[in-house]
Structure formats: C-alpha cells, structure tokens
Amino acid sequence: MKKKIILIASVAFLATAMPSCKKDFLVQTDPNAIELTASFRSPDDVLTAVNGIYQSLRSSNNIGENSGLWTDERSDDTGRNDNQSNAGEPFQFGDFSILPSNTYLKSHWVSLYSTISRANIVLANIDRVTFSDPNLKLQYMAEAKFLRAVMYFELVRTWGDVPLVTKQFKSADEVNENTFREKQALVYALIVTDLKDALASNLPNLQTGAGIGRASKAAINATLGKVYLTMATTQDAAAKTANLNDAKTYLTAAYGMRTFGALSSIPYADVFDVNKKATCPEIVWQIVNKQGDITYSSSIAANNQAKGETINSLKPASGSGGNVTPDLIKEYEAGDPRMAFSVKFANDPIVKDYFITKFRDASAGASNLGYGGNDWILIRFADVMLMLAEVNNYLGDRAGAITLLDQVRTRAGLTTYAATLTANPTYASKFTDLRLAILHERRVELAFEHHRWFDLLRTFSTDELVAYFKAKSQADFGIPKLANFNTKDRYFPIPFDENKLNPEKMYQNPGY
C-alpha cells in the first residue's frame, strides 16, 4: 500500500521517466527507482510542482469541499439514513461501525499521503534549481512545508500514531523500511517545525488577487494556533499550560492580521457569497473553484440540494441532498439567522427533511449542470476568534473569552452571552459552562465546514466523548446507531492493507 502511495503518486505527478529497456542488460538499475533530476530545471518547474500539491487538496478524499465523510458525518451534525449505498461503506462512518477494510477509509489515507509525497518531492529537489530571486525559493519551500504540516495534522488527529515520511523515496525497499507508525508526539513535533519554518518566510500576511488560495502568514499562524490548542487538550497534560500560551500567541497573531474592525461589519451571508469570495475580508484560506468549468468548478451547492428545491443550484436534484441531523436543528437558538441561511426543510412528496443550504450558486454561470463557483473555505476569522476564546477560557481569562464569543453572537444578531444566560433558561441550563458555550457557538457558526468532529475531540476526553454521544436521543440521528459509539471511535482504524504489511510496525488501533 505504501508503495502505491509514494511511488505511483510521484510518477503520476511529475511524469518521471523509468529506466529504458534499451540499455545494456549489464547496467543494473533498480526498476522501482524514480529519477526526478530532469523534472526540476527551472523555478517554473518548482512552481508547477508546488501547484500540484495544492491541486491534490481538491479531492473529495483529501480536505476539499466534498470530504465531509471523514469529519461532519462522523460528528453529530450530518449523516446518512441510507445504509445500502455503496455496500454501506459510507454509512459505516456515521454509524460508528467502520471496518479496517473500508475502501473509503483507505482512499482518504492514500490521498493525504500522496499530498505529503508531493511536498517531499519539492523539498528534496528544490536545491537542484538555480533561483535568481532567492525569496521565490523561500516562498515555495514555505508553501510545501505548510501543506505537509496540514496533511500530518489531519492524519494525527484522525488515526493517532502514523508513519512519518519527510523525504522522497526512490525505491520500494525505502518505502518498506520507513513504513511504521510513529508516536503522536513526534508527528506533532514535525508539524510545529514545518509551520514555524513556513512562518519564517516572505509570505504575505494575507493573499490577494491571483494569490488567493495559497498559503499566507495568517493561515500559518491560525493553523499553528490550532495545533497548539489541540496538543494542549489532547496530548501531554504536563505541557498543557505551555501549549495554551503558544496557542494564544499564534492565534492572536493571526487575528491581528485581519483587515476589518468588528466582525459585525461583515454580513454572515457575504462569507459564502460566490460574487464576494475574492474580496470578503473574513476568509483567511480557501480552495479556489472556477464557476462554469467542468474540471475546476464546485459541486457542493448541487450535491447538497434536496429533490424539489432550487435554492442551491439550477441543477435538478433527485435525492435528499446534504443531510442534517435533528440534533443539530435543535441546537440553534430561536431566531438565529444562521439557521435560516444554513438549512432548509424540503417539502417534497418524496423528501421531507432538512438539507444544507449554506453553499449556494443558482446562477446562470453555474448552469443546470451545477458547475458552481463556490470556494471551499478552510480557515476564516470567526473560527480563529472562537479558538482564541477557547484558549482564553482555559487560561482563566473568562472576560477575554466572552468578548470574542460576543463578537460572533453580535454578528449573528443574537444577545450577548451574559444577557442570554439571564433571559434564556434553556440556554443557561446547557451552556453556563463557558467551554460548552464556545463549543455550541462553533457548532452553529461553522456548521458543515468540517470542523465539528475535531472540535469534539478537542473539547472532550475519550470517556467524556462516549458519555456525550450516549446522552443524545437516538431519534435525533435516524438509522445510525448511537449505541455503537465507544472508546474505539476516537480514532479511525488503520486501513487493512497498511496493517497487513507489517502488523507489528503498523499496529492496529484498539477496538478494531
């Protein structure tokens, strides 16, 4: 499996020539070796390779717009009530019955490591190229390290211990020698190092114009802050305070790079407006899509639309669209306009259920084929602010945490946290604990943006997470069985093909 991840991805990406069969048979070469020297001759070649790393993010198996199977469908926000589709494999994620042999699971693993492979190839070969502008070289190295760190952050939170690959492999033997799981602490150490290296570059604070979609210092700071926050809440307890302080440093730096004043100056709907995606000051990092283009357009608006509806897309829908759990619907406070914007009840003779409306492009440019222009937002400032509120609360700065929380609530047209505790007994009964109030606000503010599962992992210990799911109503989840959830479900199983290569070095996660 690892051979396919590293070698095939490399060949497909750079079209590297394999040894010729016309050579003298006495000249022995490894038939699995890959020679990349000829592919890196100019700065433009390096740019093409870096662009290839970004390109790989678009896949539904990676972190693109249609990758909710690994995140939102694992959480309490979305799921699917059809346990027959694709032999039930997608259903296994939300049903907490996932098997190591699940092919979707394997595809996710392969895609993340393929992106890492692309980054490693750039970093291994960039010194072969002469740059007249040394800053350009630093930029490309920073982008490759940032994207590699993002992939490892996804991997370590999803599987725990994972193989740590930081170099280009040129043979199957090298792949096999390096196929073993490293402890999470070492993976996080690489992530932090890569992000700090990327931050010490000449990247702009925020990208504009043709640079939109590329790494920026704001995106790196925000990611580094989230990494430290995750380490503080899920890793070594002895280092919790130090990690929280580091999280505050980098999240504050990211927040300080915004170009707006109060969050309320940016209407919530503007964040997702196809016509404002290149100018909305709240967006920090996004995957750029091109309206009307069969290859680079967005399909999320059409995919989420339910039968009989036209709010998302001109493309006719035949199914239930983007599923929403009743559990999430009940989480919204009365009068929260984010609910009206994000979900709608489909009243079709066949489909009578809520579906996702947060991502829309019903324009003529997208056409009835559903080739939307929605960009996929990976980081935005409301996310940064709520993480900073989370950090402040953990550090004992309750007032600072509430100030940030209230900015998000005010933009949504809701009363402040203190006023809501007084006026809304239902809210007060659930969210007097500020930690849970922030988690609630993240849920309704960032719904369907693929944050929820990781927010739960960060907020609750494994035992607390089990208790949290067990306390929910089965009726609010449909067919997926909450009773299946137990301690094993904090992590995915190691894909079967990876585990069988070396059951000792690629040991399986507990419970699978």
pLDDT of residue 75: 97
Task: Report the C-alpha gap between 188 and 342 in whole angstroms.
Answer: 34
Residue 206 zone, left/alpha/beta (φ > 0; ψ -120 to 50; rest): beta
For 359-384, what is the HEC assignment?
CCCCCCCCCCCCCECCCEEEEEHHHH
- The answer to whether the beta carbons of residues 455 and 443 sit under 8 Å apart is yes
Q: How far is CA 333 from CA 77, 338, 342, 499, in A?
A: 15, 10, 13, 45
Output the furthest CA–CA distance in the chain (Å, rounded): 85
Sites in the chain below the pLDDT cut of 70: 1-37, 83-87
pLDDT of residue 174: 84
Residue 448 zone, left/alpha/beta (φ > 0; ψ -120 to 50; rest): left
- b/e string for 142-159 if b means 16 or more Cβ within 10 A? bbbbbbbbbbbbbbbbbb
Tokens standing for residue 354: 């809520």
Q: How far is CA 295 from the centre of its chain?
A: 21
Tokens standing for residue 216: 């920026």
Task: Report the C-alpha gap between 133 and 317 in whole angstroms.
Answer: 51
End-to-end CA distance of the chain: 19
Q: How far is CA 61 from CA 70, 103, 106, 173, 451, in A?
A: 9, 11, 9, 27, 16
In this structure, the number of other CB atoms found within 10 A of the CB of residue 452 comes to 24
Q: Which residues, 6+ apart, have CB-to-CB distance to 172 below 8 Å?
A: 3, 7, 32
- The answer to whether the beta carbons of residues 19 and 34 sit under 8 Å apart is no
Strand, helix or coil at 393? helix
Task: Report the C-alpha gap between 53 and 64 in whole angstroms.
Answer: 13
- The answer to whether the beta carbons of residues 494 and 508 sit under 8 Å apart is yes
Strand, helix or coil at 137? helix
DSSP E strands in 256-398: the ranges are: 283-287, 343-347, 352-356, 376-380
Q: Which residues, 6+ apart, have CB-to-CB distance to 453 below 8 Å?
A: 70, 71, 72, 74, 75
Task: Report the C-alpha gap between 387 and 381 in whole angstroms.
Answer: 10
Task: Report the C-alpha gap between 142 and 204 in whole angstroms.
Answer: 11
pLDDT of residue 490: 97
| Domains of the chain and CATH, by start | 1-22+29-203+498-512 (1.25.40.390), 300-374 (no CATH)
pLDDT of residue 22: 36
- Among residues 177, 123, 180, 175, the alpha carbon closest in space to that of 149 is found at 123
Task: Report the C-alpha gap between 227 and 151 in whole angstroms.
Answer: 12
Tokens standing for residue 357: 């409306």
pLDDT of residue 170: 80
What's the CA angle centered on 220, arms 216 and 221, to 5 degrees? 115
- Among residues 284, 131, 149, the alpha carbon closest in space to that of 205 is found at 284
pLDDT of residue 30: 45
pLDDT of residue 477: 92
pLDDT of residue 274: 98
